[in-house]
Structure 1
């Protein structure tokens, strides 16, 4: 019997202008679910430009622009739209991330599975932000989003966490969770490798000699941008020709360090060798990875880490942090180097080891590339479907 899935998200590759890890993950996953016979309807809430067009694997696509709406109103609007979409269809499965509580207003008994990726409370904890750190006018929206996300999780028939670390931390945040399964994220391995082979470097890429260290992630503390900058200050002393390139959208200047503040952490003589690319879209991102000598993803805590899997697919030496979602698929000294989070000295030492021992680094990268097939969309879709079926049976929900 064909199952009908309703999926909603705030970003989706090929539809929204900004696409982070979850947007690329869903953009690869949903066509794979459709290839298994699922009928997928997708609601995309966009805070900026979006293109409502024919999308592979999607039966019906609904795009809702929320830019310009007050944040409180937008939070409620999204939840209402998802509830209306559910009531108008006959869906066997509703699959939603917890971000923004999109499923918080679904009726009791809905076949809701929440994909635990990163809620606002978790993101703020990792960033070291308290409610008092937000401007007074924005605090009601922060509280509402926390409330909607908690309501959605607790009312779910089951939850799918993207890593063991995410499952454990979510339980600390919300207490006892509904029935839970862990299913990894996916990437479009074949498409990424094709893009990397073309090696189209993004606009602004430095055209000079010397090794390039690429930082992947939003320019936010939780992604380790401060630690990455501080590590490069040490790296530059040993490799005077090395350059640091940062690829990722900027953070909120109210809470995150500006580019000027980040540069001030680097010795003046080395500042000209730091390049900020900002958000790098589509295939240019994989061209950037392929053009780097080493990539670092030094998150202070990571739910999963799609960017690291993408680096593995391209076959470039990788440095990540330990103690979070990277632990599910990274082995120190085997397919990458792992260092403790919030430790610029250890991060610099790992990058220097990579640059000083290119043969060893290449061997790790090759082992990583050889094992990345399990993150392709098809096997992940098979595992996700089986996990969701188990959760639904356990909750007594029939398709």
Structure 2
């Protein structure tokens, strides 16, 4: 059986790309497919075609190109796979609405070509605070959000990482087969003991809505009570906001105790989280489940989280625990961080609970098995109970 995966993929650093990277590798290791081809965007200094972890990576389209959907559809017609998995978000194909509209047409074009398809939607634009996310499009942005939902649900089965998204889609499209697959962790769970010296970590793809400036002002206030406290700022910029990190660093460059790391390679992430006492998600807007929460839980780190619907859903649906603060409220953030910095027993209790939950139910192997179930369902819906299905 031949599976084609359409996904963003390293070296570009995105949450959805990391999800595609880890799940593709897990699917290749599962032995369920005779052949796996991964279609992704072109990258500097990378060949157009290469073997990786038992599958073939084809770097097909150019980011921000307006013909992406046609390129994907044409390649799929030539490959004629048994199944296509699209790993998608609203902005995975570029910075412009035109590029993303083109790319997000590909599930519909594949369906018209008779291909069996499964789509993973990491975000539903209609449910997001588009103004807080600074989404381009002016007065037509809401219409565009509805159009994106229609386009990306043209599949045999749609997977989402939040139960609230599954419930919303089921109410909007009663005949659409929807599967909730919790985001889960990418890494093998390992309990890491706290290191000496208190340290906060923010790890993100940085944009104005990630709350970095809010955290920096809170950190300045916390240093008055915790003079040894450090803050590590790790992660690359969001492609829609070039220069954002440079401007923030210039504004807060005189603040002592801050480490600015920029992009951190996948291989160094465990060490990055090992240094942290608390992981902070001070976001002022969010579109879906957070992989950072799962990484923190995987390595035994407690987290402080903005009380946004998507982040609360990530925590509660998975049975995790978090310390929430009022979104955008500096004093609430300071008080919540201060309380956990002063109470190691509270940090440890939260971290141990989350570690046990992730290790028991939310590993990448468990996520892979859930996808194999979704793939089987799509094939049976299209071809009947006698269909050849991955096992």
> Which of the five TM-score ranges fits, normalised by the shorter chain?
0.7 to 0.9
Cα offset for 1:348? 2.2
Q: Which residue of 2 aligns with 1:131?
A: 136
Corresponding residue number in structure 1 for 2:4: 6
Mapped partners of 1:227, 1:175: distance in 2: 38
Partner of 1:28: 22
Listed as ranges, the matches of 1:47-196 within 5 Å are 47-50=43-46, 52-58=49-55, 60-64=56-60, 66=62, 71=64, 74-76=65-67, 78-99=68-89, 100=100, 101=104, 102-108=106-112, 109-118=114-123, 125=130, 127-131=132-136, 149-150=148-149, 152-167=151-166, 178-190=176-188, 193=190
* Residue 317, structure 1, aligned to residue 302, structure 2: yes
Deviation of residue 229 (structure 1)?
2.5
Which whole-Å deviations, capped at 9, do the CAs of 1:250-300 have from their partners, x for residues lacking one?
245868854434664x6x8x6132222112111212211111111112333
Whole-Å separation in 2 of the counterparts to 1:132 and 1:368? 39
Tell me: CA distance 1:342–1:263, structure 2 relative to 1, closer, same or farther (3 Å).
Answer: farther
1:45, distance to aligned residue in structure 2 (A): 1.1
Q: Distance in 2 between matches of 1:177 and 1:352?
A: 49
Q: Using the alignment, how far apart are the partners of 1:263 and 1:253 within structure 2? A: 19
Whether 2:28 is the aligned partner of 1:42: answer: no
| TM-score between both structures, scaled by the size of structure 2 | 0.78
Aligned to 1:131, the other structure's residue is in SS state: coil
The match for 2:291 is 306
How large is the RMSD of aligned CA atoms in angstroms? 3.7
Match of 1:292 in 2: 276
Question: Is the partner of 1:238 in helix, strand or coil?
Answer: coil
Alpha-carbon deviation of 1:79?
1.7
Residue of structure 2 equivalent to 1:220: 207
Q: Secondary structure at the match of 1:380?
A: helix
Task: Say whether the 8 Å CA contact 1:104–1:148 is kept in structure 2.
Answer: no
Paired position in structure 2 for 1:203: none
Asked if the contact 1:213–1:292 (Cα under 8 Å) also holds between the matched residues in 2, the reply is yes
Task: Provide closer, same or farther for how the CA distance between residues 375 and 326 of structure 1 changes in structure 2, counting only shifts above 3 A.
Answer: farther
Return the alpha-carbon distance in structure 1 between the equivalents of residues 201 and 232 of structure 2: 5
Question: Secondary structure at the residue paired with 1:44?
Answer: strand
Contact kept, 8 Å, 1:301 with 1:341, in 2: the verdict is no
**CA offsets 1:203-239 (integer angstroms, 9 cap, x no match):** xxxxxx8421111112213333233233323322322
Which sits farther off after the overlay, 375-384 or 335-344? 335-344
The structure-2 alpha-carbon separation of the partners of 1:75 and 1:160, relative to structure 1 and needing over 3 Å to count, comes to farther
CA contact (8 A) 2:232 2:261 kept: yes
C-alpha deviations, 1:342-384, integer Å up to 9, x for none? Answer: 3332222222122111122122212221221222222111112
Give unpaired runs (5+ residues) of structure 2. Answer: 90-99
* Partner deviation per Cα, 1:160-200 (whole Å, 9 max, x = no partner): 1111244467789x87783211112243332x749x79x9x
Shift of 1:303: 0.9
The counterpart of 2:355, out of the listed 363, 366, 369, is 369
* Equivalent-residue separation in structure 1 for 2:280 and 2:162 (angstroms): 20
Q: CA–CA distance in 2 between the matches of 1:238 and 1:308?
A: 26
Q: Could you say what secondary structure the match of 2:52 adopts?
A: coil
- State how far apart, in whole Å, the 2-side matches of 1:331 and 1:343 are: 25
SS in 1 for 2:183: coil
1:359 to 345, 350, 354: 345
Judging changes above 3 Å, is the alpha-carbon distance between structure 1 residues 343 and 393 closer, same or farther for their aligned structure 2 residues?
farther
Where in structure 1 are there 5+ consecutive unaligned residues?
200-208
In the alignment, is the contact (CA less than 8 A) between 2:213 and 2:248 conserved in 1?
no
Distance 1:22 1:186 in 2: 13
Residues 148 and 87 of structure 1: CA distance in aligned 2, closer, same or farther (over 3 Å): farther
Distance in 1, matches of 2:111 and 2:45, equals: 31
**Any conservation in 2 of the 1:116–1:166 contact (CA below 8 Å)?**
no
Matched residue count: 364
Contact 2:166–2:180 at 8 Å: present in 1 too? yes
For residues 57 and 128 of structure 1, the distance between their equivalents in structure 2, rounded to whole angstroms, comes to: 37
| Partners of 1:185 and 1:380 within 8 A in 2 | yes
How far apart are 1:310 and its partner, in Å? Answer: 0.8
User: What corresponds to 1:204 in structure 2?
Assistant: none
